[in-house]
Chain A
């Protein structure tokens, strides 16, 4: 017995140490996922909880709601622009900084700093910057800058124009997150041995070809990681919209998370709010699962 205990000592200790947090995660993450999923099939559509089962009625109602369909479309546009924009801009910045320029540390800090802000602050700042002003009161923010530069024909209504709407929000989000992508890529670029590039040069590759056929493939795990991080931020985006635009004209800036909040806590339709929560969860899992598979496979290899 004593021997057994001694042998298993480390194992028991580690299980005991992990147990509390495992239990908390089980209850507060997975338990509530189950509860939310159940609520999405229940008749809880006033303040007092009502857990009676009503099938897919909430799902039908949510998908018949024109505002929800608009938020889905907005989310698609936002995700595409935000993830694509951050990756491309981040990569370009990293490549430029990797050229051993002067005061690299200063530039790196400048580009990375927006990440230190919360989305609320970013939202407020960009609300001011993209406030279009009006003919009567004069232009404001970026429109004023364009006007002073003699580029007045480029002025638009930004987020007050329903055709732009969510795109303006994506601009702010790219501004905030591209520095983060830059940092990831920069670390990756520094990790690529100079010999590989040299070898490519010896083989007669142009600089563009080196990036295209040597550097980018080697950076694939970083691109993948950045994609996951940006993707789940994008699906959950809420605070930026609240601080910057609200739902916008004709819900052109609205996102599912914002609509979920309003549907649940203003209209008291807890069941329908849970439906949107479930849809967002499915979206995030679709994004995370390939990543989990990929990283598990890699761990197995190692």
Chain B
């Protein structure tokens, strides 16, 4: 008995000393024991035996000094080397593991990660998450199942048939917020409330974000980052040449456009080949002419779409298009930035993933940023999360993935490359200092500003409404019919809200 207690002390001490980065501790048996004995000694409960078996078998796949355990009731000889997982992981394992799935006790297997992160900083960020995961679970083969296309509009259409067919990726990217409605989570996704409690995520993410994450009373994804939608990027060289200062309201914005109109410089660069970019611009205009509460109310039915602010927003959009590059429908948001690189374009309104693009092109030295005119103190937010499909083929491997996504280590490694900010609130000043100046200013705003959800990036409204919203705005670009567009927006809201 004394021996057992001393084991336990050693184990606990080791876990405490090594801290978070360590996902468990090795343990060499000094006498013949069963897994249940060990579980009782280490965790105080025999139920943890399968967790120890799985963790040890995972280790054995990459390090043959560890024991291979083939049965839960196996009697292990003295000298067997086991791996004792961290208690949080072990708890999560018990919460997730289906006792009928004996195959989950042998370690290895795949982790199929679905996302739309294929370019520049985002692919590097994803790779950083993979690296963190691999360092902890080297036995698992990661399958990077990405599908290109901004805002994920192609990825989503491809992953849905797979979900219906019962062959989902093990985990996939999902925008925080009402986008989850489009996946019928009550049927296809696993609620993550228990994992939130086990890993303590409900304490480390901001309350606004947790509210956004909850749909039908449950959490369905683990957020990895926060992006800001309402950023005005401006070309410092052009602004210096013409003596301009970043506009704080739309009047100043249009004054700048007038000034640049006949100089051979495009005042405002737009790319709309993806079909969502102008709708993104429009949501920022809505946020600028409405108060945060009014803007939020648009998506809950409290603010009517007949509101004069909506009319004003449409008129502003109509006017902006007069100053945009004529070939906007031949460009996506990023190819349109060729104007910016060539100093032929002055301003661009896009989410802060654009910053990653500027850095990749090494022109960040001439990029200035400001909130979209009229949105100072407002943070139009979106967040990427990862889900846990009910029919994931490798459920145990998903636990570690979500753990990495929600961890401080994973979030810092990911966001520094992706060009977004960690969703966790416990980032220390020293850790913050590692981020680039834009992201540091973004973190300040995130802590200070009123947070409102982005619609085109899935936070504010279900996908079917987003499509109607986007279709209306795209049609408006050609018809320029303010009244007709507003009527269509009212009708879309009626369809979506059922009133």
Contact = CB atoms under 8 A, between A and B. Distances in A.
Nearest to A157: B326
B327 A66 contact: no
Interface residues of B, number: 43
Give 5 nearest A-B pairs by CB, closest first: A250-B478, A265-B157, A267-B467, A47-B184, A249-B329
Interface in A92-148: 127, 131-137
Interface of A: 45-49, 66-67, 127, 131-137, 157, 159-160, 162, 245-252, 261-263, 265-269
A247 B274 CA distance: 9
Contacts of B163: 47
B358 interface: no
A67 B471 contact: yes
A262 B338 contact: no
Given A134-B327, A250-B477, 19 more contacts: A46-B182, A47-B182, A47-B184, A48-B184, A48-B187, A66-B475, A67-B471, A127-B330, A136-B266, A137-B338, A137-B339, A159-B329, A159-B330, A160-B327, A246-B329, A249-B478, A267-B467, A267-B468, A268-B182
Q: Which of A48, A136, A159, A262 has the most CB of B within 10 A?
A: A136
A162 B321 CA distance: 14
B330 A47 contact: no
B474 A250 contact: yes
Interface of B: 153, 156-158, 160-161, 163-164, 181-184, 187-188, 264-266, 272-275, 325-330, 338-339, 342, 344-345, 463-464, 467-468, 471, 474-475, 477-479, 488
B275 A134 contact: no
A248 B330 CA distance: 8
B164 A267 contact: no
B463 A267 contact: yes
A250 B464 contact: no
B477 A47 contact: no
A69 to B, nearest CB: 11
Contact of B275 (A47, A49, A66, A247): A247
A268 B161 CA distance: 10
A267 B468 CA distance: 8
A135 B325 CA distance: 9
A133 B184 contact: no
B329 A262 contact: no
A263 B157 CA distance: 10
A154 B53 CA distance: 75
Nearest to B478: A250
Contacts of B338: 137
B329 A269 contact: no
A202 B163 CA distance: 72
Contacts of A266: 153, 156-157, 463, 467
A28 B325 CA distance: 48
B87 to A, nearest CB: 36
Nearest to B495: A61
A159 B273 CA distance: 11
A160 B157 contact: no
A136 B344 contact: yes
A132 B326 contact: yes
Contacts of A261: 157
A49 B329 CA distance: 35
A65 to B, nearest CB: 8
A159 B331 CA distance: 12
A162 B181 CA distance: 34
A268 B464 contact: yes
Contact of B326 (A47, A134, A248, A267): A134
Contact of A262 (B157, B326, B478): B157
A157 B328 CA distance: 11
A11 B307 CA distance: 75
Contacts of A263: 467
A78 B363 CA distance: 42
B164 A47 contact: yes
Contacts of B183: 47
Contacts of A131: 327, 330
Contacts of A159: 329-330
Contact of B477 (A127, A249, A267): A249
A40 B128 CA distance: 45
A268 B182 CA distance: 7
B346 to A, nearest CB: 11
A66 B274 CA distance: 20
A131 B328 CA distance: 11
B264 A136 contact: yes
B179 to A, nearest CB: 11
B187 A67 contact: no
Given A246-B274, A249-B477, A136 B325 contact: yes
A135 B160 CA distance: 42
Contacts of B181: 46
Nearest to B159: A265
A133 B266 CA distance: 13
Given A162-B478, A265-B156, A266-B157, A248 B471 contact: no
A45 B153 CA distance: 18
B178 to A, nearest CB: 12
B327 A269 contact: no
Contacts of A245: 273, 329
B463 to A, nearest CB: 6
Given A136-B345, A265-B156, A268-B182, A250 B327 contact: no
B71 to A, nearest CB: 39
A266 B345 CA distance: 33
A250 B471 CA distance: 8
A205 to B, nearest CB: 50
B50 to A, nearest CB: 32
Contacts of A132: 326-327, 330
A255 B115 CA distance: 27
Contacts of B479: 250
Contacts of A160: 326-330
A47 B157 contact: no
B339 A265 contact: no
